[in-house]
Chains A and B, each alone.
Chain A
């Protein structure tokens, strides 16, 4: 790549003004979530001397994991302009299936886990079929399923109510860490792959004679992202055990690579495949999608299948974190936090707008509020109210920015 092709493109200033006009026209993307995250971390860091410790940071990640994965699934359904209120209890049901298969029936985890996720996919297929083929509003179908799955979970959990899981592999996901060395290897491999894929994208567009992303801007963004994640790895690699002689706690929690894998997979499906494109199309204008020859019903069903299957993965995370499942697994505020996470991250409730990463950003915001306020000594009451307000503000920002677009 010669330097004059770099100079020939638009300047950084143009790119900034482009971005600014996009924001003004309502396409705010991840901006509110990122800003919110920075502000929240600043406030909680200043008010609590525990919040910014490595121990709490690792705790935050494992705490956010299950809700984030449910939110990732919800992004698919929200993109269609539908909703899945039953995803929380779907994760509970799948978690129960997993734990029962392993604890009560002695299955190996690598057999039980796919089966439990498959159960989730099946639940999603039923929901999707009812919505797409019978035309029942998703709100009603999944509200019914919310109750139904809760009952199913009660039946599965049985009289005792709680089933423990002792499988070391499942427990490791939320409780163990990569060693410090492996953490760095993981970070470096992912970074290199990220850089290569970015360069490859820019290069192939240049070769095709198309306007490519400004290299300077891309370098800035990449350095920023890798810098922040690098600091995160350094923090996680510090000793965070209260008693290092007894037990050493450091490294990236194993759940992080799991979520990263799901993020990459989901982003690929939504952004680079025809199926992903069709999801956006159906969410944007279902009639236009139908006339373009897209099988709208199948797209709808597939989105619900993906949502519930990811809830199945979240069920495994719940089982791992709680060392058990109970009739409350995936219940209470789980689903609302997950919807909140997706919307706070920038996914529109009106459909057609959203990304996989929204779930991660929003999941972190929700977890930071929960965690930070807990550290400051606020009870569940205040936490719920604040999280509810944040969700309301995000949905409001979404609605207002949408109005800005349509009035243009």
Chain B
């Protein structure tokens, strides 16, 4: 298999006496959806915050596109091409879709905002993701449904030629039809060549879109396996007990 775009080796993170991540390994590939699963408190959020540069890990190696990197702060993560879509989306309801997608990174002509350019780019990005559910990209976000908001947040993440997009429970608050839309979108991101890390509690979703599954158990990586090699029950065992018969936990995908 080709080299992973992001490799974590032996990552550790403690908060005071609490050892949250213990020698975690993770490989993320371009064009693939890597599902990150685990029970509450398993360390999923801590792990992605380490990748996003919000926490700095206590030890371990980060390899991005084969090179050893240190991610000190969200801006460095962004500079590498890592974007995170958090569960609460962080959109401004009073601004329209274009404004939200370019928030904090406005395209300017001199001192003046280049609205036409931003709108064209936003339109192109949404078209590239085959998003057709949004009527006008000049409507305010307050008028959008939950699925559409998720779409805007994801589109914002991929607008900047990002290479790795991390999605934190993108379908948690959505209805059936909207969940389906968002999962299609997640799949399209990977099909467009991006690496995607999908955090989810919903194993049905995970098995629908993921290429491989990484299960965290009490801060350790129980296993990272190809989806085709495991069953739902085995993944549940990995999540709840940290091991499962028939799963080679040392295997590298």
Contacts and interface: CB of A to CB of B under 8 A. Distances in A.
| A and B interact | yes
A291 B143 contact: no
Interface stretch (B60-68, B101-109, B242-250): B101-109
A284 B106 contact: no
B117 A208 contact: yes
Contacts of B142: 405-406, 408
Interface stretch (B92-100, B178-186, B204-212, B215-223): B92-100
Contacts of B119: 208, 210
Given A210-B116, A211-B136, A292-B90, 15 more contacts: A205-B115, A207-B116, A272-B112, A273-B111, A284-B92, A285-B90, A285-B93, A288-B91, A289-B103, A291-B74, A352-B93, A353-B94, A405-B93, A408-B142, A408-B143
B123 to A, nearest CB: 8
A143 interface: no
Contact of B90 (A207, A211, A283, A291): A291
Contacts of B40: none
Interface of B: 74-75, 86, 88-95, 99, 103-106, 108, 111-113, 115-117, 119-120, 123, 136, 138, 140, 142-143
A204 B95 CA distance: 22
A281 B123 CA distance: 21
Contact of A284 (B86, B95, B104, B123): B95
A277 interface: yes
A289 B116 CA distance: 22
Interface pairs A-B: 5 shortest CB-CB:
A292-B104, A284-B92, A352-B94, A284-B94, A208-B116
A277 B103 CA distance: 8
A1 interface: no
B92 A352 contact: yes
27 contacts: A27-B140, A205-B115, A210-B120, A272-B113, A273-B111, A274-B113, A277-B99, A277-B103, A277-B106, A277-B113, A278-B104, A280-B95, A281-B103, A281-B104, A287-B88, A287-B90, A288-B103, A289-B103, A289-B104, A291-B74, A292-B105, A293-B74, A294-B103, A352-B92, A352-B94, A353-B94, A408-B142
A270 to B, nearest CB: 11
B93 A284 contact: yes
A272 B107 CA distance: 11
A209 interface: yes
A179 interface: no
B116 A293 contact: no
A285 B105 CA distance: 16
Interface string A282-313: 01110111011110000000000000000000
Contacts of A205: 115-116
B90 A294 contact: no
Interface of A is mostly: helix
Contacts of B136: 211
Nearest to B92: A284
A293 B104 contact: yes
A25 interface: yes
A273 B113 contact: yes
B199 to A, nearest CB: 17
A149 to B, nearest CB: 31
A293 B90 contact: no
Nearest to A212: B116
Given A208-B116, A208-B119, A273-B112, A280 B92 contact: yes
Contacts of B104: 278, 281, 289, 292-294
Interface string A351-388: 01100000000000000000000000000000000000
Nearest to B88: A287
Contacts of A289: 92, 103-104
A293 B78 CA distance: 11
A283 B103 CA distance: 13
A406 B123 CA distance: 26
Nearest to B111: A273
Contacts of B140: 27
Nearest to A274: B106
Contact of A292 (B103, B111, B115): B103
Interface string A198-236: 000000110111110000000000000000000000000
A72 B111 CA distance: 22
A290 B20 CA distance: 26
Contact of A285 (B86, B91, B113): B91
A292 B103 CA distance: 6
Nearest to A205: B116
Nearest to A285: B92
Nearest to B116: A208
A291 B89 CA distance: 10
Contacts of A352: 92-94
A208 B138 CA distance: 15
A287 B117 CA distance: 26
